[in-house]
């Protein structure tokens, strides 16, 4: 009686692994773009809102004073701009450069969050305004209150930080900004199907002619992954 071979489970090949990793990379790419853009917008908008309010005693009355985020600290707004620039630059570089830019993106988010959190209880900006208003360099603000905008700004910094973390973890799988139009390093296998002079001739014959004066031809060339600005 002969033994019947038991079929063994097939291991996932490189193509399947790449496909599964590619899906996660695309999701991480979309999440990083959303988080980074939203975080930068929140940090810039919230840092321009009123963070603290109070009054300064002048004569027998009082004058209301307020300070926005940029009066308290300009760090979150500046780092929000840096984070937005780094988010765009992530797709313009590759390799070690992409890791460095991703680290800059994460650090800018962390710095914006910490600076906003520390400024949530700051009174120096209003004290300075009170001194200018009263003409007394020793004057301080009275009835000091703080709003929730510093914490909103800090939340924006956290979103930028998360975008940087995603870029550090998955950025190697993301495409470059000009990767679609790069020339291959070597011609496709000479001597094989489509290779060699005959293969190139067949490819040239099957490639549709493009009229640079027709916008629809330019779009079709882009869809095929060709660079319509390159002279043949």
pLDDT in tens, 72-96: 999 999 999 999 999 999 888 888 8
Mean pLDDT of 49-63: 87
pLDDT in the model for residue 206: 52
pLDDT in tens, 92-130: 888 888 999 999 999 999 999 999 999 999 889 888 888
pLDDT at 186 exceeding the cut of 50: no
pLDDT at 61 exceeding the cut of 50: yes
pLDDT in the model for residue 130: 87
pLDDT band at 56 (very low <50, low <70, confident <90, very high): confident
What residues does 66 pair with on adjacent strands?
Answer: 53
Task: Name the least confident of 66-75, 116-125, 134-143, 159-168.
Answer: 134-143
pLDDT in the model for residue 229: 60
């Amino acid at each position: 009686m002969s033994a019947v071979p038991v079929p063994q489970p097939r291991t996932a090949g490189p193509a399947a692994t790449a496909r599964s990793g590619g899906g996660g990379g695309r999701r991480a790419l979309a999440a990083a773009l959303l988080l980074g853009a939203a975080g930068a917008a929140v940090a810039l908008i919230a840092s321009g809102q009123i963070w603290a309010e109070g009054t300064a005693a002048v004569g027998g009355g009082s004058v209301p004073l307020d300070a926005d985020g940029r009066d308290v600290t300009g760090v979150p707004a500046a780092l929000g701009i840096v984070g937005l620039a780094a988010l765009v630059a992530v797709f313009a570089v590759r390799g070690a450069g992409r890791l460095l830019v991703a680290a800059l993106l994460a650090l800018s988010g962390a710095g914006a969050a910490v600076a906003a959190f520390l400024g949530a209880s700051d009174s120096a900006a209003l004290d300075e305004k009170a001194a200018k208003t009263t003409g007394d360099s020793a004057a301080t603000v009275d009835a000091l209150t703080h709003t929730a905008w510093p914490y909103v700004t800090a939340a924006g910094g956290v979103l930028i930080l998360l975008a940087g973390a995603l870029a550090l973890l998955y950025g190697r799988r993301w495409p470059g900004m000009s990767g679609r139009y790069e020339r291959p390093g070597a011609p496709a296998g000479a001597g094989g199907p489509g290779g060699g002079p005959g293969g190139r001739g067949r490819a040239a014959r099957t490639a549709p002619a493009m009229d640079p004066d027709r916008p629809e031809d330019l779009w079709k060339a882009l869809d095929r992954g060709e660079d319509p600005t390159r002279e043949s």
